[in-house]
Amino acid sequence: MSKAKLTILKIGGSVITDKNEELAARLKDINRLADEIKNANTKDLIIVHGGGSFGHPLAQRYAITDGFKEETQKIGFAETHHVMTVLNGLFMDALIWRGVPAVSITPSSCILTKKGRIFCFEEKPLKTALKTGFLPVMYGDAVLDADLGFTILSGDQLVSYIAQRLNAKRIVIGVDVDGLYDADPKVEKKAKMFTHLTLEKLKNLRKTLGKSAACDVTGGMFGKISELLPAIEQGIPVKIVNATKPNYIYKVLKGEKVEGTLIEKE
């Protein structure tokens, strides 16, 4: 693995699931994305996907993010983690059936958080997988927490952490809108999309960014941007694109020009 070439690709849960219906996978989009990832043939790539209608409703129902407070939450933790492995399995099926040497790395088996933040991360399996030429696939997960007992580790925190630790060249965020807006484009028809932002401009704007109305225990777009700030401060550019549009992920992985929002340190 060449650290200077590493790309972290985040596929949002809203892209691969229908957030309006619990446990509803968008298999057509999962298969299309698998085709695009295979055809892009990007070396030194790590994929992280969100939970969408698989992980978020259960995590919210059992208040997993808040930590262990009562016995009934234990089954909720187990269910949340399990359905995430199911969604991950569907994504892995699509990649592997296309001949992509993808390997799932379960976050809860190698990460421990403390008050919701990554505290301990055994990185050797991930680094070894990359070095061997595999495509590691991770996801937002229900994880054990040193102080809270357990919590939810968002895919966005995971993306930012890995990018910083491994000195990634870039981060690509695939969502279900065209980029970053000054309001929720699904609600506000006149919402303005930003094509390019510097870190300073982003910090001034993030408090006004609209939150998604869909169920998301990790904070919607505001949460995503907040998690990415440390990586951007480290000089890692972030490109936000619409992963529901055919060939957008393929093009951005190939370095081609794609509509979206580019966020850079300066």
Q: Which one, of 143, 137, 185, 152, lies nearest residue 56 by Cα? A: 152
Burial class (CB in 10 A: 0-12, 13-18, 19+), 146: exposed
Three-state SS for the chain is CCHHHCEEEEECHHHHECCCCCCCECHHHHHHHHHHHHHHCCCCEEEEECCHHHHHHHHHHCCHHHCCCCCHHHHHHHHHHHHHHHHHHHHHHHHHCCCCCEEECCHHHHEEEECCEEEEECCHHHHHHHHHCCEEEEECEEEEECCCEEEEECHHHHHHHHHHHCCCCEEEEEECCCCEECCCCCCCCCCCEECEEEHHHHHHHHHHCCCCCCCCCCCHHHHHHHHHHHHHHCCCCEEEEECCCCCHHHHHHCCCCCCCEEEECC
With a cut of 70, list the residues of the chain below it in pLDDT. Answer: 1-4, 206-223
Query: How high is the pLDDT of residue 219?
Result: 46
What is the Cβ-side half-sphere exposure of residue 141, based on CA atoms within 13 angstroms?
25
The tally of domains found in the chain comes to 1
> CA of 240: how far to CAs of 80, 188, 205, 210, in Å?
27, 19, 16, 16
Spatial contact of 98 and 34, defined as CB atoms under 8 Å apart: yes
Spatial contact of 236 and 261, defined as CB atoms under 8 Å apart: no
Which domain covers residue 166, as residue numbers? Answer: 3-264
Query: How high is the pLDDT of residue 216?
Result: 46
- The domain spanning residue 187 has which CATH number? 3.40.1160.10
Spatial contact of 225 and 233, defined as CB atoms under 8 Å apart: no
Distance CA 123, CA 121 (A): 6
Query: How high is the pLDDT of residue 3?
Result: 45
Distance CA 100, CA 131 (A): 16
High-pLDDT (> 90) share of the chain, %: 79
Position 243: which residue type?
Answer: A
Query: How high is the pLDDT of residue 235?
Result: 96
For 145-163, the pLDDT digits (tens) are: 999 999 999 999 999 999 9
Position 244: which residue type?
Answer: T
Q: Looking at the whole model, is its pTM more than 0.75?
A: yes
Distance CA 49, CA 136 (A): 11
Query: How high is the pLDDT of residue 220?
Result: 56
Query: How high is the pLDDT of residue 107?
Result: 97
Query: How high is the pLDDT of residue 215?
Result: 47
Spatial contact of 110 and 121, defined as CB atoms under 8 Å apart: yes
